[in-house]
């Protein structure tokens, strides 16, 4: 398996605090069948800033450590960038790191809202040949209240990544139901762990794929897994026509 969103680089953000902890994370990932991980430290987060060159050097060092400890996991470079007004300018300055240095990049909205300039900014970014992947939209309060907000971004060419723990219920029943609705409406294109450690925020990718297969069938599972493979290769990912989330009827009342 491939995990395209993980905070495994030590001492950069709210992931592992040491190399030993990062190695333990990699061992835990390997035990669940994960062989490739894109490391995605926070950037332009209120508490963390990790530019491209910093991340690349840490990825090289962690791969060296994993080889020394015979851990069969390969780390690829990435970044989880909180959306901000100068995003495009910093791409031009070479501070922004795309996923495995391809055309896809992660963009994170604040948990409570979506800045008003986001749609225009992400459109401008796409005009430069880059492809935004909105991370964990199911955990954004604006999307939970109105999933059509995500639909608008997907319609405009953005992609989205669902957190494994959301689909397995780790973030509560409401987010689990919304996650299933987003899958059903073709509004998410990738599933990833967003793991931070081995206990509080562990890898739940295998369980998430099992749940997807149980609820939506094996083809949907392969769709998400294949898209992760296509992404790390820099190839065009599969996209199904997006739909608006259907309003569910409860006890005969909308």
Per-residue pLDDT of 116-149, as tens digits, reads: 999 999 999 999 999 999 999 999 999 999 999 9
Distance from C-alpha of 124 to C-alpha of 15, rounded to nearest angstrom:
31
pLDDT at position 246 is 84
pLDDT at position 91 is 92
pLDDT at position 44 is 93
pLDDT at position 187 is 98
Identify the band that residue 252 occupies on the pLDDT scale cut at 50, 70 and 90. Answer: very low
> Is 224 a residue whose pLDDT tops 60?
yes
Per-residue pLDDT reduced to its tens digit, 33-65 = 999 999 999 999 989 999 999 999 999 999 999
- The arithmetic mean of pLDDT across residues 218-234, rounded, is 98
Q: What is the 3-state secondary structure (H, E, C) of the chain?
A: CEEEEECCCCCCCCCCCCHHHHHHHHHHHHHCCCCEEEECCEECCCCCCCCHHHHHHHHHHHHHHHHHCCCCCEEEECCEEECCCCHHHHHHCCCCCCHHHCCEEEEECCCCCCCCCHHHHHHHHHCCCCEEEEECHHHCHHHHHCCHHHHHHHHCCCEEEEEHHHHCCCCCHHHHHHHHHHHHCCCCCEEECCECCCCCCCCCHHHHHHHHHHHHCHHHHHHHHHHHHHHHHCCCCCCCCCCCCCCCCECCEC
pLDDT at position 248 is 60
Q: For the chain, give the mean pLDDT.
A: 95
Class of domain 2-233: alpha beta
pLDDT at position 222 is 98
Distance from C-alpha of 112 to C-alpha of 37, rounded to nearest angstrom:
28
Per-residue pLDDT reduced to its tens digit, 145-178 = 999 999 999 999 999 999 999 999 999 999 999 9
CA distances from 37 to 19, 154, 168, 186 (A): 16, 25, 20, 24
């Amino acid at each position: 398996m491939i995990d395209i969103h993980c905070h495994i680089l030590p001492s950069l953000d709210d992931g592992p605090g040491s190399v030993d902890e990062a190695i333990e994370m990699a061992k835990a990932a390997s035990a669940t069948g994960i062989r490739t991980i894109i490391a995605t430290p926070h950037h332009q987060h209120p508490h963390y800033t990790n530019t491209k060159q910093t991340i690349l050097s840490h990825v090289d060092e962690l791969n060296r450590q994993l080889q020394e400890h015979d851990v069969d996991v390969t780390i690829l470079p990435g970044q989880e960038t909180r959306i901000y007004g100068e995003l495009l300018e910093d791409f031009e300055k070479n501070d922004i790191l795309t996923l495995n240095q391809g055309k896809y990049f992660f963009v994170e909205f604040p948990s409570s809202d979506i800045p008003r300039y986001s749609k225009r900014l992400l459109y401008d970014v796409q005009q430069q040949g880059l492809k935004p992947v909105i991370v964990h939209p199911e955990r954004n309060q604006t999307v939970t209240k109105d999933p059509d907000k995500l639909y608008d971004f997907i319609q405009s060419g953005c992609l989205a990544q669902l957190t494994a723990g959301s689909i397995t219920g780790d973030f509560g029943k409401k987010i689990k139901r919304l996650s299933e609705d987003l899958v059903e409406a073709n509004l998410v294109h990738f599933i990833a762990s967003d793991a931070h450690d081995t206990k509080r925020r562990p890898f739940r990718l295998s369980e998430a794929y099992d749940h997807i297969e149980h609820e939506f069938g094996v083809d949907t599972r392969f769709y998400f897994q294949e898209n992760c493979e296509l992404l790390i290769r820099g190839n065009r990912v599969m996209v199904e026509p997006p739909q608006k989330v259907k309003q569910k009827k409860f006890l005969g009342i909308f």
